[in-house]
Every structure is written in structure tokens, then in C-alpha cells.
């Protein structure tokens, strides 16, 4: 079942309400709504707000316009009644025009707000779809039978640290899951190196805020070596900052 927090954080209720979700996401949201009373109450309140906003856009002339027209016409003398009525209608028309202009301004502002919200929701959906496709592709790459997983355990510089490298020599792909590594200060980063005939070759930096990181594949690598380097990475490894290594 889909997570309630995910639904709220990513605005899926609003998209569900406006009919902009895919069939799969619609079914997932409906399932959570059926089983989560607090989320259903939140959705009902959101739906009520949308209905109220729609009602506010309806332009109905106010009663004060009708009342003023009756009072003005009733006060006129018979001998100048046509002129008085014309003037009264002119006054009422002016008041009505001003009122309608104000309502039009409010409606335009509400429309702009809805357009902004819709654009933001579309952006979030596009990002979710992009992330989903990227994650799916990477998961397929990891589960490939040609992939060899390697676990690098941290030394005393990264106690209890662990990073998993997935290597596919056939497609020359290297993916790394760094979530098991301790976070570093902002001025430091992890960096992976391949040892080829005693020469350390840079494979790329390894940020810890991502689920999977794509690194450069190095042919004929004999081992993988993880070091701590200044932010942005180094051209040569800082040997004394070696965190972990493993023979391939």
C-alpha cells in the first residue's frame, strides 16, 4: 500500500481530485483513502475547498443594486419621471459595472493561483515519473545475472561503514550504493579508485545523499579503493585517508 506521507508530500490528493493521476496511482490513492480515516477527512476538506472556490467564481448581482434602483425610482416626481429613471439606471449601471469588475479581478487572481498550483503539480508528477524510470532502469541493471556485487567495509576512519559496488564487466557498468557510509563534513567527499598495475585511476566521487551512484568503469582493475578527499575530488588518492578496499 502507498505511504500516506508520500501522498501528502507529493500533492497526489490534489492530482487525484483534478483527475490528473494515472490509473495505477488513482487506484493506489483510493486504496489508502479507504483504509485511512484521517487522510479521508483531509481529502473531504480539500474537496470542499475546491467546491467553495468554484462557487465563489459565480457572478450574481448583489441585492444592494436592486434596492438602490427601487429607492431611486420611487423618489422621482411624475413630471420628470423619464429623466429621473434614466439617471437612476445610469447610476445603477455604473455601480454594477464596478462590482462586476471587482469580481472579474478576483476570479482572474484565483485562476492565476490555480494555474500556478497546477504547473507545480505537473512538475512534481514529471519528476516522480523521471525518478521512477531511472530507479527502474538501475534496478534492472543491478539484478542482471552478469552483475557482480562487491561489499566494501569501512575501517577505523568509517566505523560500521559499508558501500556496495555492482560491476558488470560485459556492459562495462559500475553502480555504487553509498547509503551505508557515514556522512562527511561539507568540505569532504568519498572517492573511488581502481588499481591497475599499481596505478590508482579515478572512478569518480561518491556522494552519500543518493541511492545509487554511477561510476566510471576501468578495464583490468585489480581492486576497488575508497578514500576521503576534499570536496569535488582529487586527481590522486590520499592514501592515508583510505577507508576501504577490495580485490576484484
The CA distance from 41 to 48, in Å, is 11
pLDDT digits 0-9 by tens, 146-192: 899 999 999 999 988 999 999 999 999 999 999 999 999 999 999 99
- Collapsing DSSP to helix, strand or coil, 242 comes out as strand
Query: Which residues is 223 bridged to in the sheet?
Result: 195, 247
pLDDT for 202: 97
pLDDT for 52: 61
The CA distance from 86 to 183, in Å, is 80
Residues 138 and 210: beta-carbon distance below 8 Å: no
pLDDT for 47: 75
Confidence of residue 124 (pLDDT cuts 50, 70, 90): confident
DSSP conformational letter for 182: P
Torsion angle in degrees (nearest 10) through CA of 122, 125, 126, 132: 180
In what helix (H) or strand (E) does residue 122 lie, and over which residues does it extend? helix 81-142
In what helix (H) or strand (E) does residue 47 lie, and over which residues does it extend? helix 37-56
> How distant, in Å, are the alpha carbons of 60, 66, 92, 99, 101 from that of 63?
9, 5, 12, 12, 17
Global pTM?
0.47
Classify the C-alpha dihedral 147-148-149-150 as positive or negative.
negative
Residues 154 and 160: beta-carbon distance below 8 Å: yes
pLDDT digits 0-9 by tens, 34-81: 888 888 888 888 777 666 655 554 444 455 445 554 554 455 444 444
Higher pLDDT among residues 39 and 137, named by residue: 39
Which of 229, 225, 230 lies closest to 203, judged by CA? 225
Average pLDDT for the chain: 79
Rounded mean pLDDT, 202-209: 95
Query: Which residues is 191 bridged to in the sheet?
Result: 205, 227
Largest CA distance in the chain: 115
Rounded mean pLDDT, 89-107: 59
Amino acid at each position: 500500500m502507498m505511504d500516506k506521507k508520500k501522498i501528502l508530500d507529493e500533492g497526489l490528493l490534489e492530482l487525484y481530485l483534478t483527475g490528473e493521476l494515472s490509473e495505477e496511482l488513482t487506484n493506489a490513492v483510493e486504496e489508502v483513502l479507504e483504509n485511512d480515516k484521517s487522510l479521508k477527512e483531509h481529502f473531504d476538506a480539500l474537496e470542499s475547498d475546491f467546491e467553495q472556490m468554484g462557487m465563489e467564481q459565480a457572478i450574481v448581482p448583489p441585492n444592494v443594486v436592486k434596492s438602490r434602483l427601487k429607492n431611486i425610482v420611487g423618489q422621482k416626481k411624475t413630471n420628470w419621471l423619464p429623466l429621473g429613471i434614466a439617471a437612476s439606471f445610469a447610476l445603477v449601471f455604473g455601480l454594477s459595472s464596478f462590482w462586476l469588475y471587482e469580481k472579474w479581478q478576483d476570479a482572474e487572481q484565483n485562476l492565476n493561483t490555480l494555474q500556478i498550483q497546477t504547473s507545480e503539480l505537473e512538475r512534481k508528477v514529471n519528476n516522480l515519473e523521471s525518478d521512477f524510470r531511472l530507479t527502474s532502469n538501475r534496478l534492472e541493471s543491478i539484478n542482471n545475472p552478469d552483475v557482480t556485487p562487491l561489499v566494501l567495509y569501512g575501517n577505523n576512519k568509517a566505523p560500521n561503514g559499508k558501500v556496495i559496488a555492482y560491476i558488470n564487466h560485459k556492459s562495462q557498468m559500475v553502480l555504487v550504493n553509498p547509503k551505508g557510509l557515514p556522512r562527511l563534513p561539507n568540505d569532504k567527499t568519498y572517492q573511488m579508485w581502481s588499481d591497475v598495475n599499481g596505478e590508482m585511476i579515478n572512478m569518480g566521487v561518491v556522494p552519500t545523499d543518493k541511492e545509487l551512484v554511477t561510476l566510471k568503469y576501468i578495464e583490468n582493475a585489480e581492486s576497488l579503493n575508497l578514500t576521503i578527499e576534499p570536496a569535488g575530488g582529487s586527481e590522486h588518492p590520499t592514501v592515508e585517508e583510505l577507508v576501504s578496499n577490495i580485490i576484484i
